Structure 1
Amino acid sequence: MARALPDVVAIEEGVGLLRSQLLSISDAIARTRQEIADLRQEQETSRACDELQAVVQGTEDATNTILTASETVDALARGIVRRSGDNTNRADAEAIRAEMQTIFEACNFQDLTGQRISKVVRTIVLVEDRIGEMLRVWSASDAAPTAPNPRPDRRSGEAALLNGPVLPGEASVSQDTVDAMFP
């Protein structure tokens, strides 16, 4: 039986379609790489993690201060109950102790908040690591990797001026330096 020859035109069309699809995929990968690089730069992931860690630390510090003061007030109220001969004073001191217990219980929010924020930080770090790995893999395939184009700052008005509180350890201008500028 005679073998049918492949249709050359059909093969050329298939190759052309395959080439077109591969070029389309290549363009999509290049766009995705640029978008990821822009996202990475724009998001400042490590800064976000630092900010969240600062929230956890600030909350923990404030909670410890509240608990220390509450323990002192509770001890003073306990002393009043012990020493007071007046039933009204004793009742007031017992009421103070009951309110102190409410404060102790409410301060548990800090532990839960810290746990939740820590989960968010771990997720951010994981995403950052995965994106970094994708960029490394894609950059390794390029002969000459290009630096991402920096995105312009789109903030305006007060949002462009206000950057929030300084993280611990960051360089900042001290109040003494500011005071020295004004005679």
Structure 2
Amino acid sequence: MANGQRPFMAEIQRQRRAQEQPGTVDSLSLSSAALNPAALAPLTPAQEIRLDTSEVMEAIQHLGQKLDRFLNTDHTQIEAIHVEIADIAGRIKATKLEMAALRHPLAKDDTFMEASQQLTAVVASTETATNSIIQAAEEIDDIVNEVRSQLPEGYQNSRLKDLNEVTLRIFEACNFQDLTGQRITKVVQALSFIEERVEAMMSVWNTKEFETMPLPPSIHKHDEGLELHGPVKDGGVTISQADIDALFD
């Protein structure tokens, strides 16, 4: 031993095993190396581990290129997108104004309901007028047939026969009521469909937004402060002909 100390029996046995099996290292040799300060000496600069940073530098360079493209090319595209978004916002606002004009939450007049009621009243009025015309034509036809039966064959009888043909044309012309009624019914259905779509679109936004918009102009005309509603609906207050005649007395 270098320090003159007597070796332990365990060390002697370790040396024997090392001589019998060259190249092997046991735990005692490791412990001895651990106790040796020279074994724990730091690595020299030549022995230091070198890391490959090429991939990191390439990623940083790629990120820098993206940033340059964003600041140059993409910035122009973003400005164009902002302009388009502003245009879309303006069109949405204009659409809301048009929808509020059709169905304003605070308006007294319901445009769609008013149109449907007026068209329904047109169908009812034409039906009533058509029935009156047919009834009068039937009475005329009965009178003509009665007179013809009392006249002999001749000019008078022939002219009454012509009157029968004219009455028949009146009956045929009264078929217009069925055709106009069907067409007006289709228009009413189309208005109902549009009304449902408008209500569905308005439900997408908050109703309070439409309440702040200006009210649409009234569809009724005024005469010196008197609102003219047009024909009175069924059950409404009407002025009798006697009251009208009293105005001219």
Normalised to the residue count of structure 1, the TM-score between the two structures is 0.76
2:145 pairs with 1:83: no
For each residue in 1:71-122, what CA deviation from the matched residue of structure 2 results, as whole angstroms up to 9, or x when unmatched?
1111221222223235233212211111101111111111111122112111
Q: Does the CA contact (< 8 Å) of 2:148 and 2:157 recur in 1?
A: yes
Task: Give the distance between the partners of 1:152 and 1:93, measured in 2 at CA.
Answer: 57
Letter in 1 for 2:230: G
Q: How far 1:13 moved relative to its partner?
A: 5.9
Bigger Rg, structure 1 or 2: 2
Q: Is the 8 A contact 1:51 1:167 kept in 2?
A: no
Aligned-pair identity in percent equals 29
Structure number with the bigger relative contact order (C-alpha 8 A, sep ≥ 6) is 1
Where do 5+ consecutive residues of structure 1 fail to align? none
Which of 96, 100, 103 is matched with 1:33 structurally? 96
| Alignment check: 8 A CA contact 2:221 2:228 kept | no
- Opposite residue 33 of structure 1, the aligned amino acid is K
Displacement of 1:174 in angstroms is 4.0
User: 2: CA distance between counterparts of 1:57 and 1:101?
Assistant: 24
SS state at 1:149 partner: coil
Total equivalences in the alignment: 177
C-alpha deviation, 1:21, in angstroms: 4.0
What is the CA RMSD across the aligned residues, in angstroms? 3.5
* Letter of the 1:9 counterpart: L
Q: CA deviation at 1:150?
A: 0.8
Which amino acid in 1 is paired with 2:229?
N
Structure 1 position 53, deviation (Å): 1.0
Structure 2 unaligned segments of length 5 or more: list them.
1-54
Maintained 8 Å contact 2:112/2:195: yes
**79-88 or 60-69, which moves further after superposition?**
79-88
Q: What amino acid sits opposite 2:194 in the alignment?
A: V
CA distance in 2, matches of 1:27, 1:85: 83
Partner of 1:138: 205
